[in-house]
Amino acid sequence: MSQPPVSPSPTFVLDGEDIPFTPGQTLMQAAKAAGKYIPHLCWHPDFVAHGSCKLCTVKIDGGRYGAACTLQAAPGLQVENRTEDLDDKRRTLLQMLFVEGNHFCPSCEKSGNCVLQATAYELGMLTPHFDHFYPDRPVDASHPDTLLDFNRCIQCELCVRASRDVDGKNVFALAGRGIGSHLIVNSPSGQLADSNFSAADRAASVCPVGVILPKRVGFAVPIGERIYDPAPISAVEDEQP
């Protein structure tokens, strides 16, 4: 008996190219599966998306805008991603993130392995443009294995989600509102050493910038040999923890 024909996967159009998807996938998930890069910071394939950074904003059917990490793929959607207009808006978002925290790449041990830095290179952001805020948030060196430099936090909440959803510990949280929003440690003293955080936690390795750093291994991999030094983030994104 002959087998019934297999129905082709539904597709949407991303920058003029048909992208297959599985029902239930978001635009981001389908694009990533197809090897297509949509710029993002707060999205991670291991965690539920919440669309906070807005860097993955795309244009749908020539009109409305939406976050690719939360928008469900649908047959026939016309999605614009890497247009000059969208990338210009993304550069502005990146410029604001750079000045809201202390992001000085030449002196940061995360340089070459930083998603914020690599995304700025990918989008051609050559200057922070705005005045720096120079936040003064205490560095927490209390833990024997891990250093926290809160000054670099971009509030992507990846550490919050990793600690809650994977580690089951709720070590990290965001406190405050608006410009006063900041990352905190859930412990009696507010210090990492007084929490149940471990260097083996998923939250220890998920930070896309230089906030959560392992001690005693700084610059063990020389600048020039790090993930984003030889190739852009759009080509090597899958190597990021």
For residue range 76-101, what is the model confidence (pLDDT) as tens digits?
999 999 999 999 999 999 999 999 99
Q: Are 50 and 163 in contact (CB under 8 A)?
A: no
Give the per-residue pLDDT at 187: 97
> How much is the pLDDT for 130?
94
User: What's the pTM value of the predicted model, to 2 decimals?
Assistant: 0.92
Residues making up the chain, counted from first to last: 241
pLDDT at 8 (0 to 100): 77
- Domains belonging to the chain, first-starting first, are 11-82 (3.10.20.740), 87-217 (3.30.70.20)
What pLDDT does 2 receive?
Answer: 59
- Amino acid code (one letter) for 134: Y
Instruction: Please spell the DSSP secondary structure of the chain, one letter per residue.
Output: -PPPPPPPPPEEEETTEEEE--TT-BHHHHHHHTT-----SS--TTS-----S-TTEEEETTTEEEETTTSBP-TT-EEE-S-HHHHHHHHHHHHHHHHHTT--GGG-TTTTS-HHHHHHHHTT-----SPP------EE--SSSEEEEGGG-----HHHHIIIIISS---EEEES-GGG-EEEE-SSSS-GGGS---TTSGGGT--SSSSEEETT-TTSSPTTSSTTSSS-HHHHGGG--
Please compute Rg for the chain using Cα positions: 19
Q: Using 50 as the pLDDT threshold, list the residues of the chain that sit under it.
A: 239
Q: Please tell me the distance from the alpha carbon of residue 137 to that of residue 84, in angstroms, as a whole number.
A: 36
pLDDT at res. 7: 59
In DSSP terms, which residues pair with 213 in a beta bridge? 147
